[in-house]
Homo-oligomer: A and B are copies of this chain.
């Protein structure tokens, strides 16, 4: 961990991804400074980083809040994900070695098991993980950075819906996608990626209202020590 503000930014990011810090939650500088036992200076630096990442929005003279993406934002984010993944798909189709294909398949199986065991949180995480793994095989750190930023942003979107996803269908998409890619069927794979993301967006009916509310202090509690030391908790 380079700077103290990096650790804090990552802790807050984890709190968001783990669905503890909800959109709209106020991130008061003094509160965060107390929670993480650092000065306001460092907290501000962390908030700036989160703002650049799109997870936090600063309102001048009012403070920082966890971003509340609009429906339009959701569409744009998934559109961007589609473009990136289609592009990478075109590069990878029929070009990975056997180990890589089986790694992808193993990942799908893991998620399958998580879904069967009703471990929703884990299944969610593995779902995004599949897309990230796919991108990783592109071997392009620039594309990877943009993609994982988008994935982080999608975790904000999941707050704004209560619709149960059709995990089964989405999971099946993943399995089919690996098959198509291994066979080198680029066009079909790209079409599937597009439909896959459209399905996800359709699930977001933007029940903008009832967002679980928890103070930043409570939400961050499990992530505090990880910010100053080494390993993440959950």
A residues with CB within 8 A of B? 2-3, 5, 41, 44-45, 48-49, 52-53, 58, 60, 73, 76-77, 79-80, 82-84, 86-88, 140-143, 146, 150
Contact = CB atoms under 8 A, between A and B. Distances in A.
B143 A60 contact: no
A77 B87 CA distance: 14
A60 B2 contact: yes
Q: Chain A interface mostly helix, strand, loop or mixed?
A: helix
Contact of A142 (B2, B41, B86, B150): B150
A49 B58 CA distance: 14
Given A79-B140, A83-B84, A146-B146, 7 more contacts: A41-B41, A48-B52, A49-B52, A76-B142, A79-B143, A80-B146, A82-B87
A125 B209 CA distance: 45
Contacts of A41: 41
Contacts of A141: 76
Nearest to A86: B87
Number of copies: 2
Closest 8 CB pairs of A and B: A83-B87, A52-B52, A76-B142, A80-B142, A76-B140, A80-B143, A146-B146, A48-B48
Nearest to A78: B142
A52 B5 CA distance: 13
B52 A143 contact: no
Contact of A2 (B58, B77, B79): B58
Nearest to A52: B52
Contacts of A140: 76, 79-80
A41 B77 CA distance: 33
Contacts of A83: 83-84, 87-88, 143
Contact of A76 (B48, B73, B84, B143): B143
Contacts of A48: 5, 45, 48-49, 52
A48 B5 CA distance: 10
* Residue from the set A53, A86, A143 with the largest chain B CB neighbour count within 10 Å: A143
Nearest to A77: B142
Nearest to A45: B48
Contacts of A142: 73, 76-77, 79-80, 150
